[in-house]
Structure formats: C-alpha cells, structure tokens
Structure 1
Amino acid sequence: MSVPLPASTADAWPVQQPGRLTPPQGFWLLGSLVVSFLAASSAPSPLYGLYRETFGFSALTLTLVFSVYAFALLGGLLVLGALSDYRGRRPVLLAALLLELGSLVLFLCADSVAWLLAARLLQGLATGIASAVLGAALLDFQRERGALVNSVAPMFGMAFGALGASALVQFAQVPTRLVFEVALIIVGLQTWAAFYLPETVTRRPGAWRSLRPRLAVPEAARETLWLIAPLNTAQWALGGLYLSLGPTLARSVIGSATPLLGGALIATLVLSGAVGILWLRHHPAHMVRAAAAGALCLGMLLTLGGIHFHVAAAFFLGTVVAGLGFGAGFNASVRSLVPLAQPHERGALMASFLVISYLAFSLPALAAGLAVGHVGIEAASLGYGLALILISGSAAWRMRKSLA
C-alpha cells in the first residue's frame, strides 16, 4: 500500500498503514538514519592519522581517500537520486542501508590504502542514495519538521561520528576496528526497523528512465538554486576542508598530537552549524542567507588569523562563527527550495542540490591536499581560506542585491 502526500496536507502526518510503524515513529527513524549515515561518514576523519602511520601515505592520498567517498556519493545521487520518486522510499532506502553495512565490513577488514578506497567508495554510494531518499521522505512526512531535520540531523551526525571516533582513538584499544563494530550494530538495528517504515510514494512508471545521470531541477526552483549557489559552494567547501585536513591542521596550529583535537574541531564546526539552524530557522530564508554569507566571511578571517599566528582561541572562535554561517545558510537554502517542488519532484530536486553541494565539498579539498604537498598545511589552508572569503563575499553581495 502506498500513500501519496498531497501538498495541501504536507504539515499533517500521513495515514497510518497496517503492519508499519506509526508516522511519527517512522519520521524519527528517518531522522536517526540521517544521523547514522553522516556519523559513519565523518568517523574515518580522526582515524586518518592512524591509517597514515600504518600504511604510510601522503596528505594527497589522504584527501584522495576522502574525495573517493564524495565522488561515489555524487554518482549515487546522479544515477539513483530520483529513483525513490518512482519505486518508493522504503525499498531504495533499504538498498542504501545494505550498501552501508557492506562498507562498514570493508573498513573492519582494511589492511591497505586499497581497502580504504573500496570502503569509502561503497560508503559514498550508500550515502548518496540515502541522502536523496531520506531528504525526500522526511519532507513527505512533515514539510516544516522535515526541512528542519534535514538540516540539523547531518550536523549532529558528523559531530557524533568525529567526536566518538576521536575519543576511541585516544582511549580505546584497536580503535580502527571498534569504531566500525559499534557502527555495524547500530546500522544493523536500524536496517531491521526500516523494513517497517510506512511508504509515502505511489509507484509510477519511469524508474528506468530516472537512472539516466542528470540534474533534474524543477523549473520553478532553478532561479533560486542559481542564486544560492555561491553561498552553498563556500559553506560546503569549508566542510570539506575540515573533514579532510581539519585534524591535521588542528595539530599544526595548536602544537599537540592529542587525537581528540581533530574530533573537537570538526564537532565545533558542525555543532555551531546546528545552533545556527535552531537559532535562525524561523527568520525569513532570504535574510538568513545574507547573514550566513557575512558570518562565513568573518569566521574565516578569524580562523586564518588563528592559523597564521598560531592562536588556538582565534582558530576555534573563527570555526564557531563560520559554523553558524554554515548551518544557517544550509537550512535557509533548503527552506528556499522545498516549497518550489511538487511532492513527486522532491527526490530529484534534493539529489540535484546535494550533487552541487558535494562537488563543492570534494573538489576544493582534493586541490588543498595537492597543495599541502608543495607548500605545507598552513600555507595551503591560508590560500583556501582566502578563496572562501572571496566566494562568501560574492554570495553576500548577491544576497544584498536580491534584497534591494
């Protein structure tokens, strides 16, 4: 049984389906899955130092391992991102969960860079598929709450993954196994629960045609997507830097090899993002986008000062300010786009939005990894930060012009 969700009832729960979770239970299971997928994606970041010591690879290889995840994620979004609009949310989500479980098994078996690449590739594919279907399914259940959870849950997920993994690195034996053993148990239980999710989409023809790689943006959303592109690029490029080279950069700035530092830095960025979302979610989206662009500029200036002068307080304060802009801008972008898509267009729109986001997340980080090998971590980060300030400034100017 499939239950479509008309736009007129987008803020009401779907009808209860026999033998399935209640709509509120299903909604919160979906939110927990967003947290788990993003926690699993950020968990390897604090482990990269251990992997580098064990396998002996360079900063460029590190960002390549990171970027393989993002490129696979993009592939999943481009090919399979709209599939749930045709085949239903639940079966596509279950496929993504099985792929995620496979990636966690590969991490447990990893004994070389090749294994890490394979694990991250499979994890990226799983997360790409899941990102589109979870984003659309949450909106199916509750438009307002769905948009909020779509924005906040990834922030908490990345924070939990980074902090949890770095804590295990510091205090546990064999952290490169324990991290993924814990994740396997959690995701395994969630996979079992996902079999009982209610369906919110009626199957319709066109599933095979939907597999053709494309960016399917509804005409009503195209102008808005173009307007938010510079801000979206800056905020995701910032996230890519922190999740790939952040732990290494923190050790360089602070002069300490404490594993928790890397996790704390990532958590500072994304938890600040969650605060920004919760703080500004009721303000008009166009005004929040303009404020977010300004916060990114100011945050990066403070962060660059902390990097250049090795002042930890400025480094972390700048991360907090930039994180506020990151989260608030992401939420405002989602809120700007969601009303512009019909229910049957949501999967494709979310997939297109996330493709653009993850290109900004991965390509600049890969370039930074290449630059580190030539000029060092601090110089590469300073150049990266200056580029983000220029992009954020451009976004602020465009937002101000659109408000005039």
Structure 2
Amino acid sequence: MDRLSHAIAILDDLIAYPTVSSETNLEMIVHLATLLSEAGAHVDLFHDRSGLKANLFATLGPEGPGGIVLSGHTDVVPAEGHGWSADPFRMCNQDGRLYGRGSCDMKGFIAATLACLPDFAAADLRRPLHFAFTYDEEVGCLGARQLVDELRHRKIAPAMAIIGEPTEMRIIEGHKGCNEYTTRFIGTEGHGSAPESGVNAAEFAARFVQHLLTTREDLRERAPADSRFEPPWSTLNVGQIHGGTARNVLAGEAEVEWETRPVAAADAAFVSEAMEDFCTNVLLPEMRRIAPDARIETEVIGEIAGLVPMAENAARDLVARLTGENAADLVAFGTEAGLFQALDMSVVVCGPGSITQAHQPDEFLEIAQLDRCIDMLVGLVRQP
C-alpha cells in the first residue's frame, strides 16, 4: 500500500473514535500506541486524574536531547445537532475530500505521521523523532499542559516541534494566546418591586461586562506599532451571560463567560489586573453593603500561551526547506505551540487542511493536502 492510501486508511480508523473532549480518548490512544510500538518506538502514556484520558509520547531513534516533536491533539469538538449530511464519525471519501469529524482538526496530521512510520523506522535516524498526541486541546490545552510538565520533569529536551494544526500547509510562526474565564456573581434574591432589598447578581454582571468592554477599548491603544497580527491589538470577547429566574425576581446568581486573546503576556496581565481591581474595589464593596456573604468568583477555564514569532526559528526554517514555502505567517486561532515553545524549543505550526473547516458540519480534508503533508514528513529522514 502506498503512503497516501495508508494514511487514508488510518484516518478512516481514527475518525471512527468519537473522541469529543467530554469523552474518553483512551481507545484511540491505545490504537496509536500499538502502531507506534509495532514500528519500534518507545511509547509512554500519561493519564489524567480521572484515568479516562491520556497523552501519548513516543520516540524513534537514538535517546538523548535534541530531535523533533510531531504533535497533534486527539480530541474533537461535538458533532451532534450541527447539520451533518452523514455520520460524522464514519469517514466519507468523496470528490477528493475526506469527510468526518476531526478529519482536518487534526486527525489528518496524525494519520500522516503514522503512514510515514515505515520510512522513519527504516531510516538511520541521527536524532530522536518524537510523537506527541494529546487530549483536551479543544477545551484549554489541558493535555499538552500535563505533557509539557512531564517532559520538563523527565528532562526530555527536544530541539524543535512541528504542530500539525490545519494551515493548508502554510508555515505559521506565531499566534495570539487565548485565555478563557467564567466569572460568577452570587447575590441575594428578592422581589422585583424592591430592587434595593437584595443584591441583583444580573445587574452586577452587567456592570462587569461594561467594564470588560471599556478594557477592550484600552487594549486597542496598547497595540504594538510593529504588530503583524490582524487585528494588531489584543482582543476581548463576551461569549455568554446567564442569570436570574424571572423578570420580577432579583437574580441571586449570574455568570459571564469571556475570553481575551493577548498579543503579549503583558496584555493578559493588564486585563486580569483591571478586572480584579474593578471587582475588589468597586463591585464587591457595593454588594456586601447589602449582603455580607455576596461574592464574585472567577474560574480559569484555560490560559493558552501564544506562539511568539522569533527572528531565529530552526523549526520554521526546516519546514520551509521541506515544503518549499518561502513565507511565514501569523494566525488568530490558538494551538498548543506556545506550551512547547516554553520548553525552549523552536516551534512552527504547519499541517494539512483549512482552519475554515474546523468545528464545522461536514468537516473535510482535501486528499491533496494530506499528500503534501506526507511529502513534508518523509523529507524529515533526508535531513542532515
């Protein structure tokens, strides 16, 4: 079987695992571990606290520092109720496209790496070739956080990483961070005819949102003069607001789900400090004058480091040689790349498929994109 046909067959198997972030990924991880072990790789699995999810880290070639990490996440976003034309967890090969949940985001890249295992195993690798397959990227890069901590603890120090998110095989050298939060307001219920009799959590949530919007405008003024991002400033978005039980009842509880995508760590700190100061010194004292037990709580859903563009980036330069691409771009969406960069690796994002297909009904990966990815990966064994 040729490499491309092999990759398509592997992708068929991978899509059949319904690894939605809310569910286990263990069956798929065990399948990947089996394929890698059969190719001669040393494989480690790192489970989460529940035991229902795991990261996989495998190595071919010599032990020691350096080498390359090929990284992808195993989880996918939900598919039910999203207008699919067919079963999202059964791959459909039609008109040069491979349809299925996770086909481009990002089981296609994982399938490509596995299809190249015979080439990797037969090569006289002079440096380690690592495979990092994680859980829960879609809900805050939780698996990659655990994996990076494990690598740091074990003093495993690869030199570079290729994150195979769907970029249409373009070279991506930077992206913004993504910090996600839920802020909850706990007040006291009361009758709507007497607003002063309780602490209306919905009203304080609304004031919190207004301050978020004011802070968002402040972020525009902080945009670096040489920023290559679009938009060039850090963004802030209010995603959902919940609260209350009826229009004539003071809301006892309310919550705001929001995110910020900083171009620099300083902007993340600016937002955090601005909102904490507003809650601590303005909102909370007003709430507690009426109800001493009133409180505001902010839950960190995920804080994903951005990928900082670097003047010197060996991973970027390597992928440029392998793909023939001369330009490196930035993107708005987040990846696990910043976590690997924090381990002092040079990191690049490059993989098959389009991000416009990610999270969509009838998600697909063009076969031509998969083929280009395989060509890039096979080229790794020809590098000095």
Bigger CA radius of gyration: 2
Q: Same fold (TM over 0.5)?
A: no
- The alignment's TM-score, normalised by the length of structure 2, stands at 0.26
* Structure with greater strand percent: 2
Task: Flag the structure with higher helix content.
Answer: 1
